[in-house]
Amino acid sequence: MRPSLMRSASQLARRRRGYSSASGQPERKVAILGAAGGIGQPLSLLMKLNPLVSSLSLYDIAGTPGVAADVSHINAPAQVKGFMGDDQLGEALEGSDLVIIPAGVPRKPGMTRDDLFNINAGIVKNLCTAIAKYCPNALVNMISNPVNSTVPIAAEVFKKAGTYDEKRLFGVTTLDVVRAKTFYAGKANVPVPDVNVPVVGGHAGITILPLFSQATPATNALSDEDIKALTKRTQDGGTEVVEAKAGKGSATLSMAYAGAVFANACLKGLNGVPDVVECSFVQSTVTELPFFASKVKLGKNGVEEVLGLGQLSDFEKEGLENLKGELKASIEKGIKFANAN
C-alpha cells in the first residue's frame, strides 16, 4: 500500500474512533451559549485557538452567524458553526462534551449581582432544560451571574429532568483566582506566572475568600493589613472594572480568559491528563453548605475529587464564617426559583 493511502486509512480509523486525525487527541465538541455577548465573543476566540477543541458550536439569540464567520477565519483546527434562536438551540448542543454558559445581561454601575438574578435566572433555566434534553452527559461550565444562584438552578433543572450528575456541573470562579494571583504577585513583587492562590467560598463579594496564607511562592513581605487589602480588592474586582468602564461594560475580557482557562482544564481532565486541579463552585461536603468553591481535581467524568480547605489563618477562618450566611441565602434563592414553576 502506498504511504499516502496508508495515511488516509489511518486518518479514517482515527475519525471512526472519535480521535482528531491531526493531533491524536480525542475529538471534543464545545458549545458556547451566549457567544455573541461581551464575554462570549472573546471566549469564542480563545476556544477556537485551543488545540483540544475539534468542533466549536456558537449559540446566541441573535448575532451569532457573524461571530461564527469571523472566528472561523482563524487558522486553528476547530471547526466553527453558528446557531441562532430557540429553534437552533438543540442542534447547537447535540453531541457536546462541554457546554460553557456566559449568557445573560452584564452588570452595570450600581447593580449588584443579585440585581441580575431575575433576568439571568430565567435564561439559565431555559438553557439548562435544553442541555438536559440534547446533551445530558456534557460537562457544564456556568459563567452567568450570580453563579452562587445559577449553579443551584442548573442542578435543580437537571434533577427534574433525571439527568443530574454533580460531577459534571461547575460554577466558574476562575476569575477570582486570576485576580488573586495578579494582585498578590504585584504586591509581593514575585513573577505572576509562578503564583498560585486558592480561592474558596462563592463568586460574589464577601463570599469570595482568597487563601493568601496558602499562596505560592510564599512571602514574608506582606503585612496583615496588606493581606486584608488584597482580600478586599479580590472581592471587589468586578466592581473595580464596572466603575472603570463607567457604565459601558463589566469584566468581559478577563472573564473570557478565566473561562477559557477553566474550560481547558476540563478538557484536559476529560482526555485523561492526570493531576488537573482548579478551583470551582460545585456540589460539596467541604462545609455544611450544599455548594461551595474549593480546589477540585478534574478527570474523565468531571469532578474526580473535591479537595479540602487545608490550613487556614485566623483571618481566613473569620472570613469563612462571615461568608456562609450570604452564600447559603444565594443558594436557597436559586433552588426556590428553579422549583417555583
Q: Is 255 annotated as a binding residue?
A: yes
The answer to whether 223 is annotated as binding is no
Structural contact between residues 91 and 100, judged by C-beta atoms closer than 8 angstroms: no
The dihedral region occupied by 310, where left means phi > 0, alpha psi between -120 and 50, and beta the remainder, is: left
**Any binding-site annotation on 35?**
yes
Residues 104 and 124: beta-carbon distance below 8 Å: yes
φ, ψ for residue 268, nearest 5 deg: -60, -40
**Residue 2, marked binder:** no
Grid coordinates given for 115: 440585581
145 is annotated as contributing to ligand binding:
yes
224 assigned ligand-binding residue: no
203 is catalytic: yes
Q: Is 120 annotated as a binding residue?
A: yes
40 annotated to a ligand binding site: yes
Is 15 annotated in some ligand binding site? Answer: no
Greatest distance between any 2 Cα atoms in the chain: 72
* 238, 240, 243, 249 alpha-carbon torsion, rounded to 10°: -40
Identified catalytic residue from 28, 168, 181, 203 = 203
Q: What is the dihedral of CA 40, 41, 45, 47, to 10 degrees?
A: 10
Query: Is 171 annotated as a binding-site member?
Result: no
Was 299 annotated as part of a binding site? no
Is 60 labelled as part of a ligand binding site? yes
Q: Of 298, 242, 238, which Cα lies nearest the Cα of 268? A: 298
DSSP state letters, 247-314? TS--S-HHHHHHHHHHHHHHHHHHTT-S-EEEEEEEE--SSSSSEEEEEEEEETTEEEEE-------H
Contact between residue 263 and residue 104 where contact means Cβ atoms under 8 Å apart: no
Residues 6+ apart with CB under 8 A from 152: 290, 291, 331, 332, 334, 335, 338
Is 38 annotated in a binding site? The answer is yes
The answer to whether residues 136 and 163 touch, using CB atoms and an 8 Å cutoff, is yes
CA of residue 296 relative to chain centroid, distance: 13
**Residue set of the binding site for substrate:** 107, 113, 145, 179
**Residue set of the binding site for NAD(+):** 34-40, 60, 120, 143-145, 255
**Residue set of the binding site:** 34-40, 60, 107, 113, 120, 143-145, 179, 255
Catalytic residue IDs: 203
